[in-house]
Structure formats: structure tokens, C-alpha cells
Chains A and B, each alone.
Chain A
Amino acid sequence: MSEDVLFVAEHRRGDLRDVSYEGITAGRELADALGGELHVAVISGPVEEFAASLDTPEVDIIHTIDAGEEFDHDTYAAATEALHAELEPAALLLPNSVNGLDYAPAVADSLGLPYATDAVDIAYDDGLVVTREMYGSKVETTVEVAGDQFVVSIRSGEWAAADGAGDAEVTPFEFDDSGVDDGARVQGFEEVGGGDVDIGEAEFLVSIGRGIEEEENLDLIRDLCDATGATLSASRPIVDNDWLPKNRQVGQSGKQVTPKVYLAIGISGAVQHVAGMKGAETIIAINTDPNAPIFDIADYGIVGDLFDVVPALIEEFN
């Protein structure tokens, strides 16, 4: 066994995803704490091209695994396990992305290693210590992980992205994918959430969340949009309930928006939502809960009941 860290990058349809560079930063920090090297693996697609992009100063060795074009969980799991067997790293880091959720648990289970998911911070001091949230960001917890080998998945957006040119050794890892299970077969991709309106283009978004309570109450928010000329958007629960179409959804699985002003009403600010709107120039929040995470990123806030504040706000513009 080594003191090294192995991080597996992620890409989709020809582009490396941001979490790939964030994982390099997290991996470097952990490798330094362990006193080992940082290995990065990139699986499937144009791996040579990806390796050139991932070659940042933080990386020691990049392993390219040429197998297919897009993510396939059986290929990723088998390739990661094979490389893990060869390197025997202390830590295996994987993204806690949707595709990470589709193969990381299988890898940890096959390797028979402790598995801490969705880490927002990682430390090593005679043992691995992971910070993770519970109860939808209401509390943070410190988790100690026993053993000298472990698997950790990291939350996107928690580490700075690595950049700059490095001089990592790039080496192909020979992996025979002919024996890989094909019981789950990717047929294709579809972009969803098109339609009448592009919330990504709006200058002023009024976004509504779970706090609206009932579908009928949406009329109140529509009135506010009419009075101010704002475009209506929403957080996930509103779209899950079919109260608004998918093209109105802001967040990780919806749209990333960067309006001049984002007014979040009755939105607590779960990490998946924040991922979609933190780039807004000015963020304003109306929420009854003074501890709601939305206030952490807001520039202006009102702690109060939307059913009191919104009618008063409409009055201001009528």
C-alpha cells in the first residue's frame, strides 16, 4: 500500500466537468497530508486531450484509460478497481456527481473499503476526518473513518479549481474492457427544459420555492412578476410538483443562471439550488427562517413571511 491519492476525473460529451479540477485541488491537499503523490485517472473519450487539460501543477501522474466514449458505470467501476489494485492508494477520491452516484458506491463495495460520501472538507491527521452535512445542510458533522485505505466522494463547488500548466507524467493504463458487464446500456442523451422561455437570458429573476406551499399561491408571485417585469423561475420542489415546467427550474439539474438580480422567495438555498444561481450579480432573499443557507450568499435579505412581504412589494410598483 502507498500513501498516494487516486482521483478519477469526470467528463461528458467531450468536456471535462468542473469537479475534475476541484478534485485535483482536494486530492493534492490530501496527498500532502498523507505524504504521497496525486494520481489522476481519466476514463473514456479523447483521453489524451483530457490528460493535457488535467495536467496542472498539483498533479504528479495521469493515467489514461481508453475505453469507449461516454460514461458507462460498469466500465468506470471495472477500470477504477483495476487501477486501484495496481496503485494501492491510501485514498480513492471520486466526484459526488450524478455519474459518481452511479459507480462510486459499487467501487467502494467491491474494494471492501470504508466509504464516506459527499464530503465538503477532508483532513488527515493519523486518520481520515471528513466533514459532511446532514438534514439538508441544517447541520455539519465530523466523521472519523477507520482504516488506512478508504474511498471518499467529494461535493462539487467546495474546492477551488486547479489551473495552470503542470508537468505530470502521462501514462496509458492498459485495461481490457471486453469482459465488462453490459447489463445497463446507455442509448443516448436528451436536453430537457426547452420551451417558451429561457430563464438564462433574464435580467431579473423572481424565483419561488417550497415556501409558496400551494399551487394556487403562485398567482401572487405571477402578480409580482407582472408588476416588476421580472421573469418567473423556481427551485426543484415546484417543478417536481408540476406547478411550473422544467424550463423554469434553477439549480444543478435545471438551469444555471446569472441575472443582474435574483430574488429568491421561500427558497431555503440547498446546495443543489445555489449551484444554479450563485453567479447572479445581486441576490436577494425573502425567507421565514433566519438560518436558511440562502442568506449566506444573499446581498440583501428580509426575514419574514412571503405572504406579507410580497403583497407589500407589489403595492410598491402598482
Chain B
Amino acid sequence: MKILVTVKEVAAVEDEFEIDGLSIDERYLEYDLNEWDDYAVEAAVQIAEAADEDVEVVAATIGPERSEETIRMALAKGADRAVRVWDDAIAEQTLLDVDAKVSVFEQVVAEEEPDLVLTGVQAADDAFGATGVALANRVGYQWAAVVNELDYAAGDDVATVRRELEGGIEEITEVDLPAVLSIQTGINEPRYASLRGIRQAQQKEIAPHDLSDLGLDAETVDGALELVDMYEPESESDATIFEGGAEETASELAAVLREKGVVGE
């Protein structure tokens, strides 16, 4: 069987940063694999490792050449190969919307014909939280969103999942394959890449595709959403901030706790 995992390189922003036009100044960004995708990769690799049959895990990403370093981490953790889609027309977008991403992944799915697609619930940067379910709808797969437990053995026709609802409630659902599952953090313990894995990843293929390779044109990714402003939210804080060194501030905080009468003696 084949499992496709959509992955994304995202930037974490330092505490102090500057905005340059419609993006955060590069100096304050640190690139890494999207946290949710890390769990999705682990889920796919665990299915492959537990299987008697041959399971191929393919990572698919929309990202510039720079992102190969990050995508290689997914390969080092056990994915077999990767597909990377990028195009000048994608680079030109202020915001790549859900429809654009889905149109790209739709072609990747058509080419790869996976039995199972795992995505992260959302990306830490644009946080649409919609690609997986929209993709399932587009390609006619079943789906489940926000999966925090996955019971599936390679070759099975049905996956049993738990969906993490609000307020400590989980929904137990059976999903027929082929399916797209969006994976929540905490579902497993993502491994660290081993030195051997990192070495092997250097030999694994990251196949670059542009839009025309996928039979798409530039208009496909010219979405309906346009980013027109980015700013730091104004602080609404009216907190009393204790100033000074650790002892000084701790002493003031202790006084508040005593005054509130919550400190047990």
C-alpha cells in the first residue's frame, strides 16, 4: 500500500520581531517542519514499520527549494521519498488559499494514487486547517478531521479513529479507505531522526514539480484570498507587571497570593 503525507516547512517567529510589508522579516524566522505534520509523518512510518506487506510512505509538499532541508527531515524519519511542488506563480501569491493548495495536491494524489493520506490538522503559519478535508472532498476519498488516535493496520479497508472534540470528549469513528485523515498533535511520540536515518535521507529522492508538470496553469493558484495587511495585534493588557529581579518580583507575587487567601499553610 501507499501512504501520502502532506508536509509543510513553516517558520517559527522569535519573541521580538519586525514586519516587513506583508511578511515577517526573515531575520526573525526559524524554519522547521510543521509540528502537526511531524506527528502525521510518525503515524505513517509506524503503520509502515508494523506492516507485513510493503508500505511506501511518500511526503508531498508545496514549498521553495529552501524547504528541501526540512523535507529531508521527514525522509530521515522514515518516509521513502518526497514530491516537492513549486512555481513562480505560487511564489507570487500573498496567500496561497485552500483551493489553490487542494488543486495542487489533487494532481499529486492522481499521480500517486495513495490508499491513505495523512495531513496535519493545520499549519502553524497560515493556520487554515482545511486542506485535508477539502482535498478528500475533491478526490472523492473519505475523511476524518482532528484525529488523535488511529487504529489501522496496512492493508485493512477500514481505519478506526478518535476525533478530539472540545471539552475532553472524543468521537470514535470508522472510516473506509481510501481516506484522508488530519492528524492532531499528541497522537504519538514523533521520533528524532537517527544519524543513520539522516545519512540515508541524503540518497532519497525529492522530485521537483512545477505547475505545468502537474498539468496545471498559473491561474489555478491565483486564489480568491488576498493578504492586504499584517500587523502586531495591539496589546489589550492591563495587567500589573511586577518589575525588578527574581527575588523582588517573587516577593510581590507571594503577597498577592497571600492576599487572595489561596496559599495553604
Q: Which residues of A approach B to under 8 Å, CB–CB?
A: 12, 17, 73, 77, 96-99, 101-106, 108-110, 114-118, 132-147, 150, 181, 183-193, 203-204, 228-230, 236-237, 239-242, 246, 249, 252-256, 260-261, 263, 282, 284-285, 288-293, 295-296, 298-305, 308-309, 311-313, 315-317
Contacts and interface: CB of A to CB of B under 8 A. Distances in A.
Nearest to A13: B169
Contacts of B165: 12, 98-99, 189, 253
B212 interface: no
Interface string B224-239: 1111111111011101
Contacts of B129: 96, 101, 117-118
Contacts of B91: none
A117 B95 CA distance: 13
9 contacts: A108-B134, A139-B24, A140-B230, A203-B262, A229-B262, A240-B186, A253-B168, A255-B167, A284-B253
B175 A139 contact: no
Interface in B160-194: 160, 162-176, 179, 182, 185-186, 189
Interface stretch (B49-57, B70-78, B108-116, B244-252): B244-252
A115 B98 contact: yes
Given A186-B171, A313-B250, 19 more contacts: A102-B133, A102-B163, A109-B102, A109-B134, A115-B97, A115-B130, A115-B134, A137-B233, A138-B17, A146-B226, A184-B175, A190-B172, A236-B186, A252-B167, A295-B241, A298-B239, A299-B239, A301-B239, A309-B253
Given A143-B95, A184-B143, A302-B253, A252 B125 contact: no
Contacts of B262: 203-204, 228-230, 260-261
A109 B109 CA distance: 16
Nearest to B256: A300
B251 A316 contact: yes
B184 to A, nearest CB: 8
Given A101-B129, A102-B163, A301 B263 contact: no
A295 B134 contact: no
Interface residues of B, number: 88
B260 interface: yes
B237 A296 contact: yes
Contacts of B95: 141, 143
Contacts of B144: 102, 184
Given A105-B134, A117-B98, A298 B237 contact: yes
A184 B159 CA distance: 9
Interface in B9-24: 11-13, 15-17, 19, 24
B144 to A, nearest CB: 6
A23 B95 CA distance: 25
Contact of A256 (B133, B145, B167): B167
A295 B224 contact: no
A291 B229 contact: no
Interface string B125-168: 11111111110111000111110000000000000101111111
Nearest to A249: B168
A135 B164 contact: no
Contact of B236 (A296, A303, A315, A316): A296
B169 A260 contact: no
A192 B168 contact: yes
B53 to A, nearest CB: 23
Contacts of B169: 12, 189-192
Given A114-B224, A133-B127, A317-B254, A106 B134 contact: yes
Contact of B145 (A98, A229, A295): A98
Interface of B: 11-13, 15-17, 19, 24, 95, 97-99, 102, 121, 124-134, 136-138, 142-146, 160, 162-176, 179, 182, 185-186, 189, 223-233, 235-237, 239-242, 245-247, 249-251, 253-254, 256-257, 260-265
B241 A303 contact: yes
Contact of B166 (A97, A103, A230, A239): A97
Contacts of A290: 15
A306 to B, nearest CB: 10
Contacts of B102: 109
A99 B144 CA distance: 10
Contacts of B225: 114, 116, 143-146
Contact of B164 (A98, A142, A186, A302): A98
A189 B97 CA distance: 33
A46 to B, nearest CB: 19
Contacts of B166: 17, 97-98, 252-253
Nearest to A150: B224
A255 B168 contact: yes
B98 A261 contact: no
Contact of B264 (A106, A133, A228): A228
A202 to B, nearest CB: 9
A261 B134 CA distance: 42
Contacts of A183: 142, 175-176, 179
Given A96-B129, A98-B164, A105-B130, A315 B263 contact: no
